[in-house]
Structure 1
Amino acid sequence: MKRATSRAASQAGFTLLEVMVVIVILGILASLVVPNLMGNKEKADVQKAVSDITALESALDMYRLDNNRYPSGEQGLAALVTQPVIMPVPRNYPQDGYIRRLPQDPWGNDYQYRQPGRHGRIDIWSNGQDGEPDTEDDIGNWAR
């Protein structure tokens, strides 16, 4: 009886070789999965920037409907949060503004605004991941 118990106890664990094989397999799987996840993060960041720009553009359109003009370039996107005091001061401004706060792009930078725009009446854009203006990774309301 004792022999059967001791034999079962000695065979209960994993050998070093089995543990090493599992670690190698997990390493191979991780090397295949991680690059795909990194690519998805970049795509998600770009999509968030596009969504933010669309929301800002909608808020700016509401501002224009209420005041017959977009905020000036000097007033900037801040005119969506608090009523501008710089001319031209809007006559019809909602008590709570058009948005609660200005979002930052996924890379922690402020969105940019230009009125009049180069690509349309207004330009709204993120300088992208590199944070530099006029580079390939810029995301704007004109590039969809």
Structure 2
Amino acid sequence: MKRKDLEHALLQNQNGFSLIEILIALTLLALAGTFVASKMFERYNEGQVSSTKIQMSTLEELLKEFRRKCNFYPSTEQGLEALVTKPSGGRECKDYPQNGFVEGNQVPKDPWDHDFVYESDGKTFNISSLGADGEVGGAGTDADIYLRAKSAPAKDAPAKEDTSSSTQPPTAGGQGENEATPQ
């Protein structure tokens, strides 16, 4: 066989990709896609947690405004609903705004569409989100997120309250283990 014919025959056999080469390329693409998708999902979950902290900070500000107008925080029984409609039981708020404290007349829910948990003794309060699973406890995005007001100023005192948020419940000392300033 002539050399030219031999080169032509070899080149003819290598015009396409082999099945193994195609499978290797598809496997690499699938692995890269899985990595990218997991990072996107992780960022999405981080966004949900950040959004929860922002909503809790907003609720904190609304509760402070409630206290400035009413001279007390809503009781646990009155709950966050007291920001929307004037409480009928318990202490009376004489300066309650006609349209309440929340625009849209609805208490916001956390990003996982669960109600925030509110507890108060009238002087301080705790707000928590039960995370993605909506149940107490959990890890990752299922972890509970807490915001606790540590002290409440007098009605005429400057409105500076010390608050913190955490994924750990408040302990006897008043703070969770991983406290962080709300964003």
Residue 112 of structure 1 aligns with which residue?
A: 117
Does residue 80 (structure 1) correspond to residue 86 (structure 2)? The answer is no
After superposition, the C-alpha distances for 1:8-65 in whole angstroms (9 at most, x for unaligned) are xxxxxxx6769x4775554233122011011111101100110110000100000000
Distance in 1 between residues matched to 2:83 and 2:76, nearest whole Å: 12
CA RMSD of aligned residues (A): 2.5
Residue 31 of structure 2 aligns with which residue?
A: 28
- State percent identity of aligned pairs: 31
Residue 9 of structure 1 aligns with which residue?
A: none
Does residue 123 (structure 1) correspond to residue 129 (structure 2)? The answer is no
Structure 1 stretches of 5 or more lacking a match? 1-14
Contact (CA 8 Å) 1:114, 1:124: kept in 2 or not? yes
Does residue 139 (structure 1) correspond to residue 142 (structure 2)? The answer is no
Structure 2 stretches of 5 or more lacking a match? 1-15, 149-165, 167-179
Greater RCO, 1 or 2 (C-alpha within 8 Å, sep 6+): 1
Distance in 2 between residues matched to 1:23 and 1:50, nearest whole Å: 41
Question: Cα offset for 1:129?
Answer: 1.7
Question: What SS does the corresponding residue of 2:118 show, helix, strand or coil?
Answer: strand
TM-score (norm 2): 0.62
Question: Cα offset for 1:134?
Answer: 4.5
| Displaced runs of 4 or more, over 3 A | 15-18, 20-26
Distance in 2 between residues matched to 1:91 and 1:134, nearest whole Å: 38
